[in-house]
Structure 1
Amino acid sequence: MRMKLMMAILLAGSMGGAALARQAQPAPRPAPPAAAPAAIGQYPALKTLLDRYVAEDKTPGVVAAIGEGTAPPSFIVAGRVGSAAGAAPASPDSLWRVYSMTKPITAMAAMMLIEDGKMSLDQPVSDFIPAFRDMKVLTDPANSLASRPAARPITIRHLLTHTAGLGYNIITKGPLLDEYNKRGINPAQVNAGMEPDMRKVRPETLQAFAERVATLPLIADPGTVWSYSIGLDVMGAVIEKASGMSFDAFLQQRMFGPLGMRSTFWTVPQADVGRLADNYAWVGDNRVPFDPAATSVYLQPPSFPYGGAGLVMSARDYDRFLQMLAGGGAVDGVRVMKAQTVAVAMSNLLPAGVTFSGVAGGTGGDTNPLQGYGAGGSVYLRDVPGGAGKGTYGWGGAAGTVAWVDPTRKLRGTIMVNYFPSDKWPLRADVIQALYADHRP
């Protein structure tokens, strides 16, 4: 029961449990040198909004990175990385748990391997992980694990678009949810207090995790329904097999290093704790420390790199990733993907007959019905009046972070906060309204 509650808190934003003791942070490490941000006056409505969120104590701090076209970002900053008096001011280089905003990064890594010819979009996952060769599908999900053979194999496309029939603690119910919890299918970190119990049942390696997932039945035939899932975590294991290197090493070599993303971590170095935001939980109208930076679970290595929810990043670094997408695979003359690959990744990749109408905000997703789904993120199929344009690609995180690239309006945005549930406040909607009002021609 405890595991179910904690995973619900992490992934769906359902609050419960007692407050954790707040501990003082060490002195912050100086942020890396960087060019001065563009003038705040470019986005007055957004600046006013973020200042108000801090003034009303909805969050201790918030950072926005906004870019137009492929230009460097402007940073709008308010507040601090925690509520304590000694907390460092929030900055472009503060560190935030991005949770499901890890998914687009994992998906683009997979697209790199498709570009390399190491795998293809509709190739069976079992070519890389044979345990997925003979999958089963539940026949009575509410009452048992009874199953039948799956109608077709799981493919790379299915993992990228959450159409593999895999589950997730936020959507899986009944006996299969119990089995997920029993077998440690919990690829995410919550806080230092909960991690020992979670680690006892979680597989010790990414490959062991994927192989254990393959022993459990699916909730639907692959390619038939959109169902939020651990698909991008399994994709990390596929990337290892296809690339011949560890998942985290592949990302460092092919993406983080070339793009100069120096504040992107699976494990936060002790020297950088002062930059790490505290993570909070809203219990009713009370905001309580949930994963304080000084004792954060992210200061210790995870069981394995979680491709669906594992990264801690700065707003500067996440914008660097988005700037690469906006630039068709290149930033400042450094190319990591072909423009055609990026265009495919940011298009609607759902299998024929499958639709996506959004998910609840607490998952890091969105509920706008005008969407398809690309490689690890939603894709707007039509312009939204006063908001995002057709082709807008992005996703959010369970602790309130949001990121997107809008190729129609030539705009990209990253918003960093850390609190559960992510939809405690309508930050996503408020930011879109303010930013697109500022950006209106």
Structure 2
Amino acid sequence: MTDFAISLSRREALRGSAVLGAGALLAASPLAALARASDWPSVQRFVSGFVDQRKVAGMVAGLGWQQDAPDFIAAGSRTFGGPDAVGPDTLWRIYSMTKPITGMATMMCIDDGLLALDQPLHEILPAYRTMRVQKVYDGPITADNLEPAVRPITIRHLLTHTSGLGYPIIQQGPIKAAYGRRGLVPAAVSRMELAQEFFGGAATGSLEDFADGLAEMPLVYQPGTRWSYSMGLDLLGRVIEMVSGQAFDAFLQTRLFDPLGMDNTTFRVARGDAGRLAANYFVMGGLPIPIDLPNSSVFLDRPAFPFGGAGLVSSARDYDRFLQMLAGLGEFDGRRVMSEAAVRLGTSDLMPDTLAANGGFSSGGRAFGYGAGGLVGTGEAAGLFGWFGAAGTAGLVNLDWGLRQTLMTQYMPAESYDVQQRFPVVVAEDAAAQMAARRAA
């Protein structure tokens, strides 16, 4: 396992502690006490602190209650030393925060009767009918290290990272090399050759070929037995276009982005919008090194295919709109975008009942549920849903409280700083103070 993959696992553990802490802070106040307020002093110090220490060039937080308009807190600029201040409409690479969006698109297809949660994948993509599984994790791809899958991959498995599919940023050895040779690379990071090699190489040219190629690879775990970060959400992009009859990116545009007014969310940044895109940095020895600058960004090119797991660029305002729709149980600005049933199902724990005893999603020593592409809070964090991005971003909503929180910044790897661990905690501190003030009034 690479240092990046090890750090990813460590980051997951730290996130769990932060999310639980946030839930505990909010647990004491009744829902009736909630009211919109613009006073987020802890978040302001948090955002300004990272910029003032020159750890990040810029940072924007979007915060909101229920269906109220969001508050935005911003500091810094799009590039270190640059003149352009960041704000609600600055563009950021959200990477894995794409996953909950793809997850909710899948729930729409289920709600439309085009899919079933426990439908075998091979009924839609026949190449997945007979899958092989590695006996030794990340071992050789040879007959003596492969065995038949004991059950078919289902849509539920793809949504919850329990399909047994691997991930280039996690797997090592022969299977990682095989992914690279076949172009099974589900993200774009940089034009730099070294960065491309680090993140897996060049992607194949279509979502169809990606799905076909992934079916040729062995699984790293038996389906339904373990949570293992995967390309499952990327594969769901192909599933969605097969059952809907629309290209995956067109489905997202017509069913989510247009109804929500998410005008800045896209798989490709228009050349004319390069002046709103933040730079991305790779932190080496504590020093942020530019790996993708706005005017030469890889995101200015048409992507090899729409990466449903890590391909979107978005803004703090746009992602808050997505969270606001979830907080509204499918309604946004008085209009229904998803059914309440689809939202409730997608934000609930969808883990299969075939999980091994130690096969769930656990962080910080605590077990969490997993829904449609995002974590699901339990216990003190009940009601929480959302996920994080590889470049330091975060998008979470607590449906029980209606509290929305988005964080945009741009550095990699995300575990270089404690941004994602601390952000939910400082939001919860300010939220608790607001509710206490409301009660006192």
- Same fold by TM-score greater than 0.5: yes
Deviation at 1:140, TM superposition (A): 3.3
| Partner in structure 1 of residue 389 of structure 2 | 397
Q: Distance in 1 between matches of 2:377 and 2:348?
A: 9
2:185–2:204 contact (8 Å) kept in structure 1: no
1:10–1:398 contact (8 Å) kept in structure 2: no
| Partner in structure 2 of residue 108 of structure 1 | 104
1:96–1:417 contact (8 Å) kept in structure 2: yes
> TM-score when scaled to structure 1?
0.86
Q: CA deviation digits over 1:169-213, x for unaligned, max 9? A: 232233212211221211110112339889985321101100110
1:102–1:311 contact (8 Å) kept in structure 2: yes
| Partner-residue secondary structure (3-state), 1:419 | coil
Q: Distance in 2 between matches of 1:390 and 1:424?
A: 28
Match of 1:117 among 92, 110, 113: 113
1:233–1:308 contact (8 Å) kept in structure 2: yes
2:361–2:370 contact (8 Å) kept in structure 1: no
Deviation at 1:141, TM superposition (A): 3.8
Deviation at 1:429, TM superposition (A): 2.7
> TM-score when scaled to structure 2?
0.86
2:5–2:170 contact (8 Å) kept in structure 1: no
Q: Distance in 2 between matches of 1:70 and 1:40?
A: 13
Deviation larger for 372-381 or 403-412: 403-412
Deviation at 1:348, TM superposition (A): 0.3
Identity of aligned residues (%): 45
| Partner in structure 1 of residue 20 of structure 2 | none
Counterpart amino acid of residue 97 in structure 1 = R
1:6–1:190 contact (8 Å) kept in structure 2: no
2:227–2:361 contact (8 Å) kept in structure 1: no
Alignment of 1:209-224 (within 5 A): 209-224=210-225
| Partner-residue secondary structure (3-state), 1:268 | coil
Counterpart amino acid of residue 311 in structure 2 = G
| Partner in structure 2 of residue 180 of structure 1 | 179
Q: CA deviation digits over 1:35-85, x for unaligned, max 9? A: xxx998511111122111111112111000101112121111111111033
Deviation at 1:357, TM superposition (A): 3.5
Alignment of 1:343-358 (within 5 A): 343-354=344-355, 355-358=359-362
Q: Distance in 1 between matches of 2:366 and 2:137?
A: 27
Q: CA deviation digits over 1:302-332, x for unaligned, max 9? A: 1000000000000000000000000011100
Deviation larger for 289-298 or 349-358: 349-358
Unaligned runs of 5+ in 2: 12-34, 436-441
Change (3 A) 1:95 1:390: same
CA RMSD of aligned residues (A): 2.5
| Partner in structure 1 of residue 293 of structure 2 | 292
Change (3 A) 1:377 1:368: farther
Change (3 A) 1:57 1:390: same
| Partner-residue secondary structure (3-state), 1:352 | coil
2:133–2:218 contact (8 Å) kept in structure 1: yes
| Partner-residue secondary structure (3-state), 1:242 | helix
Change (3 A) 1:85 1:10: farther
Match of 1:432 among 394, 415, 424: 424
Unaligned runs of 5+ in 1: 15-37, 359-365, 384-388
The structure carrying a bigger helix percent of its residues is 2
| Partner in structure 1 of residue 314 of structure 2 | 313
Alignment of 1:76-225 (within 5 A): 76-86=73-83, 88-145=84-141, 146=143, 147-194=146-193, 202-225=203-226
Deviation at 1:431, TM superposition (A): 1.9
